[in-house]
């Protein structure tokens, strides 16, 4: 019986130590398990499921081209995987989420011996191997970045030439990923302009030099045109992070350093998830005195706050399932500072609507934006969304695309300043309220 490659957010064949190890004793059996009980509330959100469905379809085709079949099964991983392995080994990537670590322990206990082998496939480093001076997590990003500024990169790994064939208990269309067609087909717009899967990731990587020309200056453009486009591919493991790190080596120094710093921010988020646990539920820093306003939260979600730079981002998120870093920051800062609403409500919405919603990056970045993470900006720093819009979308082209009603207003960045409609909160008053709640 072949060894099993247990697919866990590493949806690629190349540069994947888990699948290479599984192939050492012959063509491996590729298995993906939908373990709803283990994932609980942290199962992928609606937009992420759309991406996952398309990425799994691409992976299935790649495995079929190598003579094998992607085995899909729903249920408890500890019951499914040892039975499929039949005495062989199970090879998988290591994951930092509490539920995933507990799941791996159960699989190891059920399989017995050392049949479960875990590998570093999604990160540049193992989160538990770096510690602060007193043990536990490294406290700040600056300290973490110094420690991991020159990571040891593994050698590039070719994909296995053959895979094992076996019957699959499930078909991909049986899984709860794509919404029913009767829901309006909203999912068709989520991956527009993207190609989920390893081939799409490799194409993005091949164009990285051109995409990141001037990245140090262009990365804050609100239309997202100055970015790499790698975030969903990294989130779903369609490309190795060390491949992205290497590819940035040919960029001008400023662009290279900024891009690699963002890769390290991703590493830091996973590091803190390993050590701190449920980042989506519990702040690692101090909390503010949050308000409760269902009406304000609903307006924010739907892009109806009356602040064009915020509304453009929220409407783009709903339509495309993705936002630039600057647009995410503006949306998060407005919710947690000007509206003074709990960051967990925003994190939950992003978790459901982003195709690249990451179990580490999403909550960690929300805590940072809310000023209650381990390495926060001071709570008294309240971004002005009007000034941000004017700086990073000076011609208001991005705003016009998603908030077309601004065409009728004299000032598309701050319509109320030229007789247009007022936002749901006075920005100066919202700032004062945020400072008082700190």
Residue 369: CATH number of its domain? 1.10.579.10
> What is the Cα gyration radius of the chain?
22
- The pLDDT assigned to 190 comes to 73
Is 263 contained in some domain? Answer: yes
CB 73 within 8 A of CB 67: no
Same domain, yes or no, for 263 and 316? no
30-to-59, 69, 157, 164, 195 alpha-carbon distances in Å: 10, 7, 17, 8, 22
Concerning whether 290 is annotated as a catalytic residue, the answer is yes
Same domain, yes or no, for 1 and 45? yes
Q: How confident is the model at residue 69 (pLDDT cuts 50, 70, 90)?
A: very high
Concerning whether 34 is annotated as a catalytic residue, the answer is no
Same domain, yes or no, for 127 and 268? yes
Which residue is catalytic, options 262, 267, 280, 320? 262
Instruction: Return the minimum-mean-pLDDT range out of 78-87, 181-190, 208-217, 323-332.
Output: 181-190
Count of domains for the chain: 3
Closest by Cα among 58, 62, 108, 61 to 85: 108
Count the neighbouring beta carbons within 10 Å of the beta carbon of residue 132: 14
Same domain, yes or no, for 46 and 133? no
CATH of the domain at 272: 1.25.40.80
Which residue is catalytic, options 366, 368, 398, 409? 366
Same domain, yes or no, for 328 and 432? yes
Is 133 contained in some domain? Answer: yes
Q: How confident is the model at residue 60 (pLDDT cuts 50, 70, 90)?
A: very high
Concerning whether 5 is annotated as a catalytic residue, the answer is no
What's the CA gap between 60 and 173, in Å, rounded?
13
Closest by Cα among 256, 54, 22 to 119: 22
Per-residue pLDDT reduced to its tens digit, 84-110: 999 899 999 999 999 999 999 999 999
Same domain, yes or no, for 326 and 382? yes
CB 325 within 8 A of CB 261: no
Higher pLDDT, 324 or 1: 324
Is 337 contained in some domain? Answer: yes
Which residue is catalytic, options 34, 99, 322, 343? 343
> And the tokens for 318?
């709903």
Concerning whether 368 is annotated as a catalytic residue, the answer is no
Q: How confident is the model at residue 185 (pLDDT cuts 50, 70, 90)?
A: low
Q: What is the mean pLDDT of the chain?
A: 94
Concerning whether 262 is annotated as a catalytic residue, the answer is yes
Same domain, yes or no, for 271 and 392? no
Same domain, yes or no, for 432 and 304? yes
What's the CA gap between 71 and 62, in Å, rounded?
13
Same domain, yes or no, for 248 and 323? no
Same domain, yes or no, for 323 and 428? yes
Range of the domain at 229: 123-153+201-276
Last residue of a domain, one of 232, 247, 276: 276
Concerning whether 275 is annotated as a catalytic residue, the answer is no
Which residue is catalytic, options 51, 265, 275, 409? 265
Taking the alpha carbons at both ends of the chain, their separation in whole angstroms is 60
Same domain, yes or no, for 330 and 364? yes
- Whether residue 182 is predicted with pLDDT greater than 50 in this model: the reply is no
Per-residue pLDDT reduced to its tens digit, 225-274: 889 999 999 999 999 999 999 999 999 999 999 999 999 999 999 999 99
CB 285 within 8 A of CB 438: no
- The pLDDT assigned to 120 comes to 95
Same domain, yes or no, for 223 and 363? no
As a whole number, mean pLDDT of residues 403-428 equals: 95
Which residue is catalytic, options 16, 325, 361, 384? 325
Per-residue pLDDT reduced to its tens digit, 316-363: 999 999 999 999 999 999 999 999 999 999 999 999 999 999 999 999
């Amino acid at each position: 019986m072949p060894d099993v490659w247990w697919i866990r957010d590493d949806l690629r064949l190349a540069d994947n130590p888990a699948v290479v190890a599984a192939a050492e004793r012959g063509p491996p059996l590729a298995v993906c398990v939908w373990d709803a009980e283990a994932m609980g509330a942290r199962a992928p959100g609606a937009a992420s499921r759309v991406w996952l469905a398309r990425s799994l379809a691409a992976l299935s085709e790649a495995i079929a081209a190598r003579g094998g079949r992607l085995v899909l099964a729903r249920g408890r991983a500890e019951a499914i995987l040892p039975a499929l392995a039949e005495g062989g080994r199970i090879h998988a990537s290591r994951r930092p989420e509490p539920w995933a670590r507990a799941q791996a322990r159960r699989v190891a206990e059920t399989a017995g011996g050392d049949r479960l082998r875990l590998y570093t496939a999604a990160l540049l480093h193992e989160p538990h191997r770096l510690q602060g001076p007193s043990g536990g997590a490294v406290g700040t990003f600056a300290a973490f970045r110094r420690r991991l500024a020159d990571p040891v990169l593994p050698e590039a790994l070719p994909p296995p030439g053959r895979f094992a064939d076996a019957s699959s208990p499930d078909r991909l269309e049986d899984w709860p990923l794509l919404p029913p067609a009767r829901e309006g087909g909203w999912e068709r717009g989520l991956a527009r302009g993207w190609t989920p899967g390893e081939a799409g990731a490799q194409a993005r990587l091949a164009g990285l030099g051109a995409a990141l020309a001037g990245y140090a200056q262009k990365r804050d453009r609100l239309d997202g045109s100055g970015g790499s486009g790698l975030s969903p591919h990294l989130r779903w493991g369609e490309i190795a992070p060390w491949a992205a790190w290497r590819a940035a080596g040919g960029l001008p120094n400023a662009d290279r350093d900024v891009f690699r710093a963002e890769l390290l921010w991703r590493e830091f988020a996973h590091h803190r998830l390993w050590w701190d646990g449920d980042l989506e539920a519990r702040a690692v820093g101090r909390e503010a005195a949050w308000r409760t306003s269902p009406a304000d939260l609903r307006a924010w979600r739907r892009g109806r706050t009356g602040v064009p730079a915020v509304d453009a981002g929220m409407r783009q998120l709903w339509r495309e399932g993705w936002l630039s870093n600057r647009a995410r920051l503006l949306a998060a800062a407005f919710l947690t500072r000007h509206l003074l609403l709990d960051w967990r409500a925003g994190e939950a919405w992003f978790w459901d609507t982003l195709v690249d919603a990451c179990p580490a990056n999403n909550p960690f970045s929300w805590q940072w934006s809310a000023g209650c993470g381990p390495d926060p900006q001071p709570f008294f720093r309240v971004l002005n969304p009007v000034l941000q819009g004017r700086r990073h979308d000076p011609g208001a082209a991005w705003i016009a695309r998603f908030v077309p009603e601004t065409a009728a207003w004299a000032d598309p960045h701050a319509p109320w300043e030229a007789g247009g409609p007022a936002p749901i909160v006075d920005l100066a008053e919202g700032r004062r309220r945020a400072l008082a709640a700190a």
